[in-house]
């Protein structure tokens, strides 16, 4: 399932054992080299949940086996090789390869089933007025370094990407459920 970052913030993280929310999603931590989701940041904590510990991720909830999945960032070896600024892409500056400024990442889309960044939504603003809005596929990203994202010079906005993004952003969150869905529970 594809979700936008802004729609996903605040999603309850539910433990199968406790069957109640143990945390709320604050951030999606991305591998800047591959675009894969490495971990989830949680509200009111510097702790994370490694992507491997996610049992199911829907628009309504994120299921994990138990609270032991919540760990310190330093404990996830995959994250240690990246600058923390590179793994949090919300608000990053977006430039073309030739140095032309495009805007700032205002939102992004990721696929929860495969754990992959699929698009970024960049907006150029003057004061609080949006001057230009662009959507780039992950395939158009050349590199993510620090707080900058470099995209190919020859990218073309794809109407299908724009329609899909606006559709995803327009979805309304359903009320918070307690407990994991029956098909999420472990089959040990």
pTM: 0.76
Mean of pLDDT values over 68-79: 79
Residue 108: the pLDDT is 93
The whole-number pLDDT of residue 87 equals 82
Domain-located, residue 176: no
Domain range for 140 is 86-170
pLDDT in tens, 137-164: 999 999 998 899 999 987 665 555 666 6
pLDDT, position 138: 92
End residue of a domain, out of 66, 82, 98: 82
Average pLDDT over residues 11-22: 86
According to the model, what pLDDT value does residue 156 have?
60
153/113 Cα distance (integer angstroms): 30
Is 43 found in the same domain as 102? no
| Cβ count within 10 A of residue 182 | 6
Antiparallel, parallel or unpaired: β 148-151 and 93-96 = parallel
**What does pLDDT average to over the chain?**
83
CATH number of the domain at 28, please.
2.30.30.240
User: 26 and 35 in contact (C-beta within 8 Å)?
Assistant: no
Task: Dihedral sign for Cα 71, 77, 81, 82, please.
Answer: negative
Does 188 map to a domain?
no
CA-closest candidate to residue 90, choices 133, 149, 134, 42 = 149
Checking if the pLDDT of 75 tops 90, the result is no
Q: How many distinct structural domains can be found in the chain?
A: 2
Residue 100 lies in a domain: yes
């Amino acid at each position: 399932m594809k979700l936008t970052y802004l729609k996903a913030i605040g999603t309850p993280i539910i433990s199968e054992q406790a069957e109640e929310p143990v945390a709320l999603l604050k951030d999606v931590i991305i591998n800047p080299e591959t675009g894969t989701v490495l971990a989830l940041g949680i509200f009111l904590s510097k702790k994370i949940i490694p992507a491997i510990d996610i049992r199911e991720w829907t628009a309504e909830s994120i299921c994990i086996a138990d609270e032991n999945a919540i760990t310190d960032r330093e404990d996830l070896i995959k994250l240690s090789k990246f600058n923390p600024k590179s793994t949090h892409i919300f608000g990053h500056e977006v430039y073309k390869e030739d140095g032309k400024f495009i805007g700032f990442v205002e939102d992004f889309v990721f696929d929860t089933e495969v754990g992959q960044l699929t698009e970024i939504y960049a907006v150029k603003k003057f004061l609080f007025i949006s001057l230009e809005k662009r959507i780039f596929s992950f395939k158009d990203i050349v590199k993510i370094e620090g707080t900058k994202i470099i995209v190919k010079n020859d990218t073309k906005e794809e109407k299908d990407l724009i329609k899909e993004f606006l559709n995803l952003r327009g979805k309304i969150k359903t009320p918070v459920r307690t407990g994991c869905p029956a098909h999420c529970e472990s089959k040990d």
